[in-house]
């Protein structure tokens, strides 16, 4: 962290006064720059102290982490590393021995196989199908010699292994921490594979073997080979696991060492930064002391200059105050003179207008009395208006209550009228359907039509009398249905002779049952069997009109009420 380059301070005569206002401005700027530099140096010093504290805390954390990693490394590393290496070397030796035994067993198996093949071939070549005794004896002799050589080799290896075990046990007896390794080796040598091997060796050391025991020996040797293979696989797995653990421990040790080196480098770097910061701090303190000395000298000069300036300013202010006081006195005297002249003029005018003022006073007194009387009457009128307003509010509340009651009553009436109309409509429709069914049955059963109402007659096959297009005449019953429509009677195909669309007049004319209705554009014809239905429809229209009239009358009554 490098400090900024400070501006040079020209050191002149400390007692000499500055040359005018420019010197004062330069001096003030110099003082401001010095103070700014001092603040900057203090800020830098504070920042360096903060960074120093942070680096120290980090250094402590890194040291703590290093100790923790060292403890973890010590706990992870096995205490018996030498024993592990010895076990590894012993396992390697056992592995080599087992491989040699496997190769020998393979060679023995090949020999037995070749021997059986030669015996089979000789049996096939001999005419009698049985080999001679000389050949069998030769084969048994060669097999016996081969097994004898194998027994000698195994005995030599067993003797060497026992000697090695004895030496290792002696070494383990001298070294007390290696107790676990001493326990492992007897376990290895006391395994069932070694027991079977020793039993086989004892059995082979008897000398000659009966030929019937060859198959049993081969089976035992194969089992021994499988067991040894299994032990070799287990030893290999254990060796691989130990090697993996050793590599992991070495990697952990390497990472811990790297972290330790990094922490040491960081600590050295922080110490170097700390030394640089301390050197910069000392340099800054020296510069601050020199600047403070210069600042004190400049402050003394400034105080002397300010004292002189204050004296001059005080003298100038005294002279200006005296001049201002003289001007104020002259202005005050002038104002007093003007006020005296105005008062003199006002007194002259008052003397002239004195009777008029007395008359105005008398008028004002009379108007005041009248206003008091009027005020009393206005208060009474206001009280009356307030009482009337309260009465009107009460009437308005009563009218609103009546209006609500009327609305509820109208709603109830409209609900009852709707209900009655729906019930009457249903009853009329049921009655109409029943009568229509009865009439249709009668029409089908009888040979002649039955007519109802006045003006019905039976005509022949002749057509109805002609009518003028301007004045249509009807001999039957006419029902005005302008603007009416029944929801259940809109389809003309359901009842023949009914009106399919909205017409002006429904006409029922007397006509025979077999003859068709006279079709006219304005009046629509109906056959006699449907007359009762139309009478019922007329009653429905009457009920609808009655409902509308009731609604209108209720609405008018509500509007007429105040």
Write the pLDDT tens digit of every residue in 395-406.
888 888 888 888
Section 165-179 average pLDDT: 60
Classified as helix, coil or strand, 11 is coil
Section 172-179 average pLDDT: 51
pLDDT the model gives residue 560: 65
**Sign of the CA dihedral 96, 100, 101, 105?**
positive
Section 85-105 average pLDDT: 78
Comparing C-alpha atoms, which of 271, 238, 275 is closest to residue 55? 271
Q: Across the chain, which distance is largest between two alpha carbons, in Å? A: 194
Q: What percent of the chain has pLDDT over 90?
A: 0
pLDDT the model gives residue 84: 67
Is the model more confident about 269 or about 172?
269
Q: Are 52 and 269 in contact (CB under 8 A)?
A: no
Q: pLDDT tens, 296-349? A: 888 888 888 888 888 888 888 888 888 888 888 888 888 888 888 888 788 777
Give one DSSP letter per residue of 414-467, joined into a string. HHHHHHHHHHHHHHHHHHHHHHHHHHHHHHHH-SS----STT-----SSPPPP-
Q: What angle do CA 137, 138, 142 make, to 5 degrees?
A: 115
Q: What angle do CA 23, 26, 30 make, to 5 degrees?
A: 135
| Whether pLDDT at 5 is above 70 | no
pLDDT the model gives residue 63: 83
Q: Are strands 523-526 and 505-508 parallel, antiparallel or unpaired?
A: parallel
Query: What is the band of 216 on the pLDDT scale with cuts at 50, 70, 90?
Result: low
pLDDT the model gives residue 19: 52
Section 405-431 average pLDDT: 86
Is the model more confident about 533 or about 502?
533
Buried/exposed 365-384: b ≥16 CB within 10 Å, e otherwise: eeeeeeeeeeeeeeeeeeee
Comparing C-alpha atoms, which of 538, 495, 537, 499 is closest to residue 521? 499
Is the model more confident about 273 or about 429?
429
pTM of the entire structure? 0.21
| Whether pLDDT at 544 is above 80 | no
Lowest mean pLDDT among 2-11, 64-73, 244-253, 289-298: 2-11
Q: Is 20 left (phi over 0), alpha (psi -120 to 50) or beta?
A: left
Q: Are 503 and 522 in contact (CB under 8 A)?
A: yes
Read off φ and ψ for residue 470, nearest 5 degrees. -80, -40
Comparing C-alpha atoms, which of 103, 116, 104 is closest to residue 211? 116
Section 268-292 average pLDDT: 80
Q: Quick one: tokens of 40?
A: 């900057």
Q: pLDDT tens, 6-40? A: 445 444 444 444 455 777 778 788 888 888 888 88
| Whether pLDDT at 126 is above 80 | no
Lowest mean pLDDT among 43-52, 119-128, 357-366, 484-493: 484-493
Lowest mean pLDDT among 115-119, 127-131, 232-236, 549-553: 127-131
> Which residue has 């000698």 as its token pair?
152
Lowest mean pLDDT among 28-42, 90-104, 283-297: 90-104
Q: pLDDT tens, 34-84? A: 888 888 888 888 888 888 888 888 888 888 888 887 787 777 665 666 676
Cα separation, 558 vs 99, whole angstroms: 124
| Whether pLDDT at 222 is above 60 | yes
| Whether pLDDT at 234 is above 70 | yes
Cα separation, 37 vs 56, whole angstroms: 28
| Whether pLDDT at 201 is above 70 | no
Section 455-460 average pLDDT: 38
Buried/exposed 272-309: b ≥16 CB within 10 Å, e otherwise: eebeebeebbeebeeebeebeebbeebeebbeeeeeee
| Whether pLDDT at 394 is above 80 | yes
pLDDT the model gives residue 192: 43
Query: What is the band of 208 on the pLDDT scale with cuts at 50, 70, 90?
Result: very low
Domain boundaries, the chain: 77-209, 318-354
Is the model more confident about 550 or about 206?
550
| Whether pLDDT at 270 is above 60 | yes
Is the model more confident about 115 or about 454?
115
Q: Are 511 and 531 in contact (CB under 8 A)?
A: no
Quick one: which H or E segment has residue 524?
strand 523-526
Comparing C-alpha atoms, which of 248, 396, 280, 272 is closest to residue 42? 280
Q: What is the mean pLDDT of the chain?
A: 69
Lowest mean pLDDT among 51-55, 139-143, 211-215, 378-382: 211-215
| Whether pLDDT at 487 is above 70 | no
Section 470-484 average pLDDT: 39
pLDDT the model gives residue 466: 40
Read off φ and ψ for residue 449, nearest 5 degrees. -90, 145
Q: What percent of the chain has pLDDT over 70?
A: 61
Is the model more confident about 270 or about 480?
270
pLDDT the model gives residue 132: 59
Q: What angle do CA 370, 373, 374 make, to 5 degrees?
A: 85
Which range, 170-179, 193-202, 530-539, has the best average confidence (pLDDT)? Answer: 530-539
HSE-up of residue 476 (Cα within 13 Å, Cβ side): 25
Q: Quick one: tokens of 84?
A: 């592990």
pLDDT the model gives residue 136: 63
pLDDT the model gives residue 231: 74
């Amino acid at each position: 962290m490098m400090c900024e380059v400070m501006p040079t301070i020209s050191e002149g005569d400390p007692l000499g006064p500055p040359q005018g206002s420019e010197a004062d401005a330069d001096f003030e700027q110099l003082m401001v720059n010095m103070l700014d530099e001092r603040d900057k140096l203090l800020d830098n010093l504070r920042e360096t102290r903060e960074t120093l504290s942070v680096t120290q805390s980090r250094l402590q954390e890194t040291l703590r982490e290093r100790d923790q990693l060292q403890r973890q490394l010590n706990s992870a590393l096995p205490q018996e590393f030498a024993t592990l290496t010895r076990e590894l070397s012993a396992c390697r030796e056992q592995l080599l021995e087992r491989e040699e035994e496997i190769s020998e067993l393979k060679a023995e198996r090949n020999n037995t196989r070749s021997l059986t093949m030669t015996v089979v071939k000789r049996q096939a070549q001999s005419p009698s199908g049985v080999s001679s005794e000389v050949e069998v004896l030769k084969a048994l002799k060669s097999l016996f010699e081969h097994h004898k050589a194998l027994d000698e080799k195994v005995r030599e290896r067993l003797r060497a292994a026992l000697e090695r075990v004895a030496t290792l046990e002696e070494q383990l007896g001298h070294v007390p921490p290696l107790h676990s390794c001493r326990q492992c080796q007897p376990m290895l040598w006391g395994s069932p594979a070694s027991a079977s091997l020793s039993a086989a060796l004892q059995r082979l050391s008897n000398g000659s073997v009966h030929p019937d025991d060859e198959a049993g020996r081969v089976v035992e040797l194969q089992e021994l080979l499988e067991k040894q293979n299994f032990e070799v696989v287990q030893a290999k797995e254990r060796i691989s696991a130990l090697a993996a653990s050793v590599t992991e421990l070495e990697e952990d040790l390497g990472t811990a060492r790297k972290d330790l080196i990094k922490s040491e480098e960081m600590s050295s770097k922080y110490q170097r930064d700390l030394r640089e910061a301390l050197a910069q701090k000392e340099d800054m303190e020296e510069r601050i002391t020199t600047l403070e000395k210069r600042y004190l000298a400049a402050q003394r000069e400034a105080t002397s200059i300010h004292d002189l300036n204050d004296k001059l300013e005080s003298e100038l202010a005294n002279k200006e105050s005296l001049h201002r006081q003289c001007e104020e006195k002259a202005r005050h005297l002038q104002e007093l003179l003007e006020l005296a002249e105005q008062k003199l003029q006002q007194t002259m005018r008052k003397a002239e207008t004195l009777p008029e003022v007395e008359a105005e006073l008398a008028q004002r007194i009379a108007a005041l009395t009248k206003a008091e009387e009027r005020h009393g009457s206005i208060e009474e009128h206001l009280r009356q208006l307030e009482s009337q307003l309260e009465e009107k509010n009460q009437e308005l509340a009563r009218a609103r209550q009546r209006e609500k009651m009327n609305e509820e009553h109208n709603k109830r009436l409209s609900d009852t009228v709707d209900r009655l109309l729906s019930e009457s409509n249903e009853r009329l429709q049921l009655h109409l359907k029943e009568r229509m069914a009865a009439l249709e049955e009668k029409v089908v059963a009888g040979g002649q039509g039955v007519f109802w109402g006045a003006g019905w007659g039976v005509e022949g096959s002749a057509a109805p009398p002609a009518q003028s297009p301007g004045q249509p005449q009807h001999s039957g019953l006419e029902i005005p249905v302008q603007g009416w429509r029944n929801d259940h009677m809109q389809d003309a195909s359901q009842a023949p002779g009914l009106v399919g669309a909205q017409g002006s007049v429904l006409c029922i004319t007397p006509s025979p049952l077999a003859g068709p209705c006279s079709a006219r554009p304005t009046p629509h014809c109906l056959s006699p069997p449907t007359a009762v239905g139309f009478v019922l429809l007329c009653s429905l229209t009457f009920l609808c009109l009655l409902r509308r009239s009731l609604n209108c009358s209720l609405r008018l009554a509500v509007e007429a009420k105040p």
